[in-house]
Chains A and B, each alone.
Chain A
């Protein structure tokens, strides 16, 4: 879990993945189902303990491919 942001009345949890190359797959692919479950669990606990006033939450993933000088940044809103 890298960022927790506010977007209107929605709390947005953001996972940021950076890869230097695609040899082991796309950065977005690195957010596996197992990792998604972990993020979900952390978010639930955080919502309950710290921000009980928020009724909506969302999970975003940002994939950064940093191959040499060219960077590609991909933002998937409401990813899972």
Chain B
């Protein structure tokens, strides 16, 4: 038989699509060509495969070798096809039984000596292999643990091309990789603890609410008041990821090539610098990769010095903040990455930083302040749930000996509130919408009257109306209350207002 086939997978967003590698060897002048919309890295597989095969002690056929990657319309990128191409070539020459390639998904980059290098997106590929009904997944040993963590497909980590050939011939028994047992309830011990933060009771409370319900926060205050310090302590109080969320987070990181080799259990906390580009934040590139907003999926995206970010860059956050995913269109394909984040931003109220400060005069003109605050668009501000003023600390707060509450205590309350939400609706409050929102956030009597008055007085938009209700729901959950009471709603409304942002 002159045509042999191997099954492989390629990443599209965070999902793996099946790719069939067909190899035909026919009489003619020796040659090696690859068709099926390959990119440069796939074309270079020719040299790697040829050299790796001969350096592993096999013979590369001195005939006309044509590799077809099907389906032909799908763009193929990356070096992960090296191993399936090499094995299909060896199957034609009889070194590997062709039937052994039928039920195995194969991915891996070859080095010139026949060794295997890791690929990106191993977890996504394992999930793809399971979906496609492949029994086994053969990949580089460095990816094995990550791929095995999803279950449902037998994962075999191998070191060299020779080991892969022996394994498919049934000669040696490669140990099946199993998911590492890890304790999901394992607490997130960070060096930074809320116990170190003096004062700022209002901001601490706001961050607790934000962590519980996944709400977006904008902190503003003069330099040195502790905005960044507060934000850095947020990972320590976030609720643990559910198993489902864990898998999704790990898939995104795996697709970005940032996989840690096992399931990720801690909520991500991403703090990109304000010089970040639009595609760095949203994802993209000619070989698309998830951006920071996707890497922060189910976690926190912290944007320090919010107005310093490029305005066009910030506007790309609008879609993910509303829909929970980013859609990227490129020549190669249109992809969608999940991006359900809790946005935490910090900013100074004006260019000099001291507008509204009690101790130091602001040097900015009204026009400067307006321009500075105008860098953040209304639509983006409309997506913020909690506006928090972080004022300068007083002498008593700076020197006061009163010990602040440690993160571990806050984390327990947050975890309990999130648990309540998961039991009630399966998702955090920040993603409630439509009928489920109306049901979970029903108001009665006094609270209905208060809300009615607030809508008129504060000029709430349809979107901010929903956002206030969600925050009120979270505050009630933190309180262990079944219904939203007046004080919960009042606190939620309080977070809509900012002493300086006149919106």
Q: Are A76 and B27 in contact (CB under 8 A)?
A: yes
B window 3-61: CB within 8 A of A: 27-30
Interface members, chain A 54-80 (any B CB < 8 Å):
61, 76, 79-80
- Near A by CB (< 8 A), chain B positions 230-258 give none
Q: Bound state CA distance, A64 and B62, in angstroms?
A: 14
Give every chain A residue within 8 A of B29 (Cβ-Cβ): 28-29, 31, 36, 61, 76, 79-80
Question: Which residues of chain A come closer than 8 Å to B30, judged between CB atoms?
Answer: 26, 28-29
Contact with B along A39-65 (1 / 0, CB 8 A): 000000000000000000000010000
Residues of B within 8 Å of A80, CB to CB, are 28-29
Interface SS, B side: loop
- In the complex, how many angstroms separate the beta carbon of B62 from the nearest chain A beta carbon? 4
Tell me what chain A mostly uses at the interface: helix, strand, loop, or mixed: mixed
| Chain A positions 17 through 37: 1 when the CB is less than 8 Å from some CB of chain B, otherwise 0 | 000000000101101000010
User: Do residues B28 and A29 form an inter-chain contact, with CB atoms below 8 A?
Assistant: no
Do B27 and A28 have beta carbons less than 8 Å apart? no
Question: How many Å from the CB of B53 to the closest CB on chain A?
Answer: 14
Residues of A contacting B27 with CB < 8 Å? 76
A24 CB, nearest partner CB in chain B, Å: 13
- CB pair B28–A79 under 8 Å, yes or no, is yes
B62 partner residues in chain A, CB cutoff 8 A: 26, 28-29
- B204 smallest CB distance to A (angstroms): 70
B-chain residues with CB within 8 Å of residue A76 when the two chains form the complex: 27-29
Complex contacts, A79 vs chain B, CB 8 Å = 28-29
Residues from chain B with Cβ under 8 Å of A29 in the complex = 29-30, 62
Q: For this complex, into which size category does the number of interface residues on chain B fall?
A: under 10
What's the minimum C-beta distance from B364 to chain A, rounded to whole angstroms?
68
B28: chain A residues at CB < 8 Å are 76, 79-80
Question: Could you tell me the distance in whole angstroms from the C-beta of A33 to the nearest C-beta in chain B?
Answer: 9
Shortest Cβ distance from residue A26 to the other chain B in the assembled complex, whole angstroms? 4
Cα separation A28 to B62 with both chains bound (whole Å): 8
Most buried by A among B27, B28, B29, B30: B29
Q: Considering the chains assembled together, what is the distance between the CA atoms of A26 and B30 in angstroms? A: 9
- Which B43-84 residues have a C-beta within 8 angstroms of A? 62
Q: Chain A nearest CB: distance from B54 CB in Å?
A: 11
Least Cβ distance of A60 to chain B in Å?
10
A9 to B206, CA, bound (A): 90
User: Within the complex, what minimum Cβ distance (angstroms) separates A35 from chain B?
Assistant: 10
Complex Cα distance A36/B30, Å? 13
Instruction: Give CA–CA (A80, B62) in the complex, Å.
Output: 15
**Min distance, Cβ B228 to any Cβ of chain A, angstroms:** 60
**In whole angstroms, what is the CA distance A23 to B209 when docked?**
72
Q: Would you give the shortest CB distance from A8 to chain B, in whole angstroms?
A: 21
Within the complex, the shortest CB–CB distance from A34 to chain B, in Å, comes to 13
Inter-chain CA distance A67–B28, complex, in Å, is: 22
Q: How far is the CB of B164 from chain A (nearest CB, A)?
A: 26
Bound-state CA distance A26–B62 (Å) is: 7
CB-CB < 8 A to A31: which residues of B? 29
Minimal beta-carbon separation of B213 from chain A (angstroms):
64
Complex-state Cα separation, A28 to B44, whole angstroms: 22
Shortest C-beta distance, A38 to chain B (Å), equals 14
| Chain A: minimal CB distance from B174 (Å) | 33
The residue in chain B whose Cβ has the minimal distance to the Cβ of A59 is: B29
Q: Report A54 CB to chain B, min CB distance, Å.
A: 23
Residue of B nearest to A27 (CB): B62
Q: Which residue of A lies closest to B29 (CB)?
A: A79
Q: Contact flags (1/0) for B87-111 with A, using CB distance below 8 Å?
A: 0000000000000000000000000
Q: Closest B-chain residue to A33, C-beta based?
A: B31
Chain B residues with Cβ below 8 Å from A61 are 29
Question: How close is B93's CB to chain A, nearest CB, in angstroms?
Answer: 15
Complex CA distance for A79 and B29, rounded to whole angstroms: 6
- Which chain B residues (363-398) contact chain A, with CB distance < 8 Å? none
- Chain B residues, Cβ within 8 Å of A28: 29-30, 62
A31 to B64, CA, bound (A): 13
Bound together, the chains give a CA A28 to CA B61 distance in angstroms of 12
Q: Name the residue on A nearest B27 (C-beta).
A: A76
User: Which residues of the other chain, B, contact A26 by a CB distance below 8 angstroms?
Assistant: 30, 62
Quick one: closest A residue to B30, CB to CB? A29
Residues of B within 8 A of A36 (CB): 29
Report the Cα distance A28→B63, complex, angstroms.
9
A14 to chain B, nearest CB (A): 13
**Shortest Cβ gap from A80 to chain B (Å):** 6
A76, B64: Cα distance in complex, Å: 11
| A45 to B201 Cα, complex, angstroms | 91
User: Residue on B with the closest CB to A26?
Assistant: B62
Least CB distance, B463 to chain A, in whole angstroms? 62
**CB of A36, distance to nearest CB on chain B (Å):** 8
Can you sample 10 A-B contacts with CB below 8 Å?
Answer: A26-B30, A26-B62, A28-B29, A28-B30, A76-B28, A76-B29, A79-B28, A79-B29, A80-B28, A80-B29
* Pairs of residues from A and B, 8 with the lowest C-beta to C-beta distance, nearest first: A26-B62, A79-B29, A29-B30, A28-B30, A28-B29, A76-B29, A80-B29, A76-B28
- The chain B residues found within 8 Å of chain A, CB to CB, are 27-30, 62
Besides the contacts A26-B62, A29-B29, A61-B29, what 9 more A-B pairs have beta carbons closer than 8 Å?
A26-B30, A28-B29, A28-B30, A29-B30, A29-B62, A36-B29, A76-B27, A76-B28, A80-B28
